[in-house]
């Protein structure tokens, strides 16, 4: 597969205020230009990213680099308070800006800190994980976790700019990479054309070729940007982005949070949603479930409960998953509505799937 020379890829996100997502191999230097007008550039990162790429961040104008511990535990209220205090200690004021330099944890925490500091200062997302590049850095959702649940305390605060440099992905641990690919598969199913293109790019994606990844990330951001612009506060259409997520949350919950990467659970969830639709007799395209599975296989993303057992040593029982789904925060009266893919580019939200069909899909995928 041929890939062209490095290209400028810019996606406009038409929300209020609008902003651009810049995608490309080697463009992280542009963050420096964006930070030039700020009295201070507070760079929020985590210890792994700091160790690998801290020198880049320290080169940004008036930069102060603050690293939190890697991992989901840093998405806490206690950590948020420490970050805000560190911003004061670093001399930040209302004309300062924040750069969230890392994965989704740093993006969610940093976006929230920027939204609260002096009632809101600008922030830039410089994602370093595939998941953050294709999903969490776009859309303006920020949050920390509460003891009672994930992402329960947060605000919408759109970034001033996003710079996704796909060269960072070379050092990403395999499981984190797979997790990003799971959301890529989900987005490709929502989109349609990207679904076929992913198959063509699979060998380049496997060796993390930065230009191929830039093409994929740009396409994913376009899909998300289009949907977010039409429904910035998740009142309707944006629910499409939750494809696979009712199942994914149940999988993550039943396995114990953190044991199965989020995007991997999403990939399994997309297949389960399609299987459930098929079992319910809905018009799922012939061969779609099979092509979904073979794409996942080419990208080395587990896409069945059986594959999760092999890959992670975790046995998930259909009953436990069904129980977890009934408790999902989006379920009404213990009965979730699903996003169902009928084929590439043909996805419907708020589908009421009969429980026996879901159960059949869970049982089927367990044996496959």
Minimum gap (Å) between residue 103 Cβ and ligand ADP: 2
Q: Which of 22, 34, 157, 245 is catalytic?
A: 245
Nearer to ligand ADP, 23 or 280 (CB): 23
- Nearest CA to 134 among 184, 193, 169? 184
Active site residue 230: no
Q: Which of 9, 209, 242, 293 is catalytic?
A: 242
Active site residue 239: no
Active site residue 157: no
> Which residue bears the tokens 């463009």?
27
Q: Which of 9, 66, 141, 186 is catalytic?
A: 141
Nearer to ligand ADP, 118 or 259 (CB): 259
Nearer to ligand ADP, 113 or 347 (CB): 113
- β 338-343/19-24 pair status: unpaired
Minimum gap (Å) between residue 94 Cβ and ligand ADP: 27
Q: Which of 82, 197, 208, 234 is catalytic?
A: 234
Active site residue 141: yes
- β 149-156/141-146 pair status: antiparallel
Active site residue 335: no
Active site residue 234: yes
Active site residue 262: yes
Active site residue 183: yes
Nearer to ligand ADP, 172 or 353 (CB): 172
Can you point out the beta strands (E) in the chain? 9-13, 19-24, 41-46, 63-68, 97-102, 123-127, 141-146, 149-156, 161-165, 338-343, 346-351
Active site residue 238: yes
Rounded to whole angstroms, the Cα distance separating 193 from 142 reads 30
Output the CA torsion sign for 131, 135, 137, 143. negative
Half-sphere exposure of 331 (CA within 13 A, CB side): 17
Q: Interface with ligand ADP by CB under 6 A: which residues?
A: 46, 48-49, 52, 70-71, 102-106, 128-129, 131-132, 168, 171-172, 176, 179
Minimum gap (Å) between residue 222 Cβ and ligand ADP: 20
Minimum gap (Å) between residue 110 Cβ and ligand ADP: 10
List, as one string, the DSSP characters of 72-100: GGGSBHHHHHHHHHHHHHTT--TT-EEEE
Q: DSSP letter at 284? A: P
Minimum gap (Å) between residue 327 Cβ and ligand ADP: 23
Alpha helical stretches, state H, 192-232: 193-206, 210-230
Q: Find the residue with minimal CB distance to ligand ADP.
A: 103
Question: Catalytic residue numbers?
Answer: 119, 141, 183, 224, 234, 238, 242, 245, 249, 262
């Amino acid at each position: 597969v041929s890939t062209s020379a490095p290209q400028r890829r810019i996606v406009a996100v038409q929300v209020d205020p609008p902003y651009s997502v810049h995608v490309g191999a080697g463009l992280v230097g542009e963050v420096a230009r964006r930070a030039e007008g700020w009295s201070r550039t507070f760079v929020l990162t985590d210890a792994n990213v700091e160790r690998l790429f801290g020198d880049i961040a320290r080169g940004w104008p008036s930069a102060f680099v603050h690293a939190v511990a890697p991992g989901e535990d840093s998405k806490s209220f206690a950590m948020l308070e420490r970050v805000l205090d560190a911003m004061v200690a670093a001399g930040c004021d209302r004309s300062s800006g924040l750069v969230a330099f890392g994965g989704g944890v740093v993006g969610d925490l940093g976006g929230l800190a920027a939204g609260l500091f002096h009632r809101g200062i600008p922030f830039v997302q410089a994602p370093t994980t595939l998941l953050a590049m294709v999903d969490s850095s776009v859309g303006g959702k920020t949050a920390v976790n509460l003891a009672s649940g994930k992402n329960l305390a947060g605000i919408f605060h759109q970034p001033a700019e996003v710079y996704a440099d796909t060269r960072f992905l070379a050092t990403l641990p395999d499981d984190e990479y797979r997790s990003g690919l799971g959301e890529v598969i989900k987005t490709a199913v929502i989109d349609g054309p990207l679904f076929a293109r992913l198959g063509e790019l699979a060998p380049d994606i496997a060796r993390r070729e930065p230009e191929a990844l830039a093409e994929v990330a740009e396409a994913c951001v376009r899909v998300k940007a289009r949907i977010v612009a039409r429904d910035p506060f998740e009142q309707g259409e944006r629910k499409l982005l939750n494809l696979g997520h009712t199942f994914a949350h149940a999988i993550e919950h039943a396995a114990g949070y953190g044991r199965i990467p989020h995007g991997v659970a999403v990939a399994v969830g997309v297949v389960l949603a399609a299987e459930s639709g098929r079992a319910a007799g809905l018009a799922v395209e012939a061969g779609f479930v099979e092509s979904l599975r073979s794409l996942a296989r080419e990208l080395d993303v587990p896409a069945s409960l059986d594959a999760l057992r092999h890959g992670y040593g975790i046995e998930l029982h259909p009953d436990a998953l069904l129980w977890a789904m009934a408790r999902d925060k989006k379920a009404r009266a213990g009965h979730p509505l699903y996003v169902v893919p009928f084929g590439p580019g043909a996805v419907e939200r708020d589908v009421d799937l009969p429980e026996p069909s879901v159960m059949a899909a869970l049982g089927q995928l367990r044996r496959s």
